Structure 1
Amino acid sequence: MVGETVQGTVYGLIGTALAQGLLAALGFWIAGVPQALLLGSLTFVLSFLPVGPPLVWISVALWLLAQGAIGWGIFVILWGALLVSTIDNVLRPYLLARSNSLPLLGLLGFLGGLLAFGFIGIFLGPTLLAVAYSLFVEWHEAEAEDRRQATPRSPDTQ
């Protein structure tokens, strides 16, 4: 269960980063920004940081506004705020929940880890919660087995 949780967390991070990078590249391409694919790749890399993607799309929007392309600058701001940055809040919990057999446990571990430990908590939270859950299940099964063995059997009457 622990390995499954860690794998799901990594897949969730990579899947979300890929979605953000692709959406950013598409928005930059629609706006006619040169090197849209390179900027989308930069968005992918920076999306592993909590404020990474806005650094890219805000910079691109400011560049467009400085070039006099007011409409395209506003488009990139809206595209980045409504699509690129919000897909993280929708896709990551979905991918994390699909990756393990206890989706609520994984989601709580993800959110709790993020709140308690920051960025590294994205990995630590689900992993620690999965370890604690596995230990609890093992302890509960051992207790049940001890009770079964301690229960005296009634003598056979013939």
Structure 2
Amino acid sequence: MLPMPTTRTQEAQSRDLLDVLIRAALIAVLAIFCFRIFAPFLNLMVWAVILAVTLYPLQVRLRHTFAHKDGLIATLIILVAFGVILAPTYLMGVAVADSISHAISIAKSGSFHIPPPADSIASWPLVGQRVHDFWLQASTDLVGVMQRFAPQLKAAGLAVLGTVTGLGAALLVFFVSLIVAGILMAYGENGHRSAVSIASRISGPENGPQIADLCTATIRAVAQGVVGIAFIQMLLIGIGFIVMGVPGAGLLALAVLLIGIMQLPATLITVPVIIFVIVTEGVSTATIVFSIYEFVAGLADNVLKPLLLGRGVAVPMPVVLIGALGGMVSGGVIGLFIGPVMLAVGYQLFWRWVRDQPQTVRPPEEQQA
């Protein structure tokens, strides 16, 4: 028979339990206060880490050229990145401003006129007659159509204005995070050791380095396979718009970039533009070549994504793609990077847990057989 615990032992256990609860509560309060203080800078720091991880291989390549001067290398990379980003941004802003000013001048002059629809449109299945009637009304009484849809147009204008304002603020945060990323890159070796130490403390010494390397590879793969492909598509499609003289080519190219980052098909932009060009310009060799080129360019991500999105990542490409889509839906653009990282880490830990099973001992009769 085991001796029953004395009253003094019970009091000591209760006191120890109370001490543990008080310490846990104080740690929780401290963590909450720290998070509230750091929360305004959370997006900025996440972007800085993403940019630093993405650009750090370039710094490693330049290390021998600049005699291991990490601070100088990081400064040069950030300056070049500013130039690469600011030049297209400026040109895009000028193109958008010209398109808006041109539209305003046409609206004020009253010279804007929509050509009447072709009779063949009425024969389209299901929606042909409605499209023909609406188009015909717009060509004869545009002011009346605009007054009819004035509330919807006002709401759409406010939404566009809010989007532009949000893009401006996001661009400012991006530039500041790029500067912070340069500072992180200058201390890249220390940062990598810290990341490995944190991952080892959470998941164990045997898993820490692999988890840190997996997170790094996933961030770089998403940067190449999502943002890189969206930028390539913007260039390919935008060049076609400019050569064909499509109105608002700069604004449409920007929309292609945003749609590509949001993992939506670029054909949402290219197909309506192709229809607009064919309707306004007619069927000719130029419009046919333009249509084929834009349609193929809009599908280029289907070829490039399997090649770039999962490259260098020790998890299947569908896992990274699902993480990017789910992260984008739940967390915006930053979720585009955080989602694949979290899903890839969870995938690896799950299969490591599945494989780490104790060896079952077979019965003696099975061993003799």
Unaligned runs of 5+ in 2: 1-213, 331-335, 360-369
CA separation of 1:49/1:108 partners in 2, compared to 1, >3 Å: closer, same or farther? closer
Counterpart among 107, 121, 124 of residue 317 in structure 2 = 107
Determine which structure has more spread, i.e. the larger CA radius of gyration.
Answer: 2
SS of residue paired to 2:310: helix
Aligned to 1:131: 346
Cα distance in structure 2, aligned partners of 1:127 and 1:73? 45
Which residues of 2 match residues 74-153 of structure 1 at below 5 A? 74-82=288-296, 84-98=297-311, 100-102=312-314, 105-111=315-321, 113=323, 120=329, 124=339, 127-134=342-349, 136-137=351-352
CA separation of 1:86/1:58 partners in 2, compared to 1, >3 Å: closer, same or farther? closer
CA separation of 1:126/1:75 partners in 2, compared to 1, >3 Å: closer, same or farther? farther
1:91: Cα distance to partner? Answer: 1.5
Q: Which AA in structure 2 matches 1:92?
A: K
Higher RCO (CA 8 Å, separation ≥ 6 residues): 1
- Per the normalisation by structure 1, the TM-score is 0.64
Matched, 1:65 2:278: yes
Q: CA RMSD in A?
A: 3.6
1:126: Cα distance to partner? Answer: 6.0
Residues 2-47 of structure 1, C-alpha deviations (whole Å, 9 max, x = no match):
2431342243210111011111011112323244333222211122
> 21-30 or 50-59, which moves further after superposition?
50-59
Cα distance in structure 2, aligned partners of 1:62 and 1:132? 44
CA separation of 1:127/1:10 partners in 2, compared to 1, >3 Å: closer, same or farther? farther
1:52: Cα distance to partner? Answer: 4.4
Aligned to 2:131: none
Sequence identity (%) = 24
Unaligned runs of 5+ in 1: 148-158
Aligned partners of 1:109 and 1:127 also within 8 Å: no
Matched, 1:20 2:233: yes
Q: Which AA in structure 2 matches 1:13?
A: V
Aligned partners of 2:256 and 2:266 also within 8 Å: yes
1:114: Cα distance to partner? Answer: 7.4
> 38-47 or 49-58, which moves further after superposition?
49-58
Aligned partners of 1:24 and 1:40 also within 8 Å: yes
Q: Which AA in structure 2 matches 1:110?
A: V
Q: What is the count of residue pairs matched by the alignment?
A: 139
- Per the normalisation by structure 2, the TM-score is 0.31
Residues 80-137 of structure 1, C-alpha deviations (whole Å, 9 max, x = no match):
222x222111222222233x342xx24131355579x596497645641333314655
Aligned to 1:30: 243
CA separation of 1:136/1:80 partners in 2, compared to 1, >3 Å: closer, same or farther? same
Aligned partners of 2:218 and 2:340 also within 8 Å: no
Cα distance in structure 2, aligned partners of 1:16 and 1:9? 10
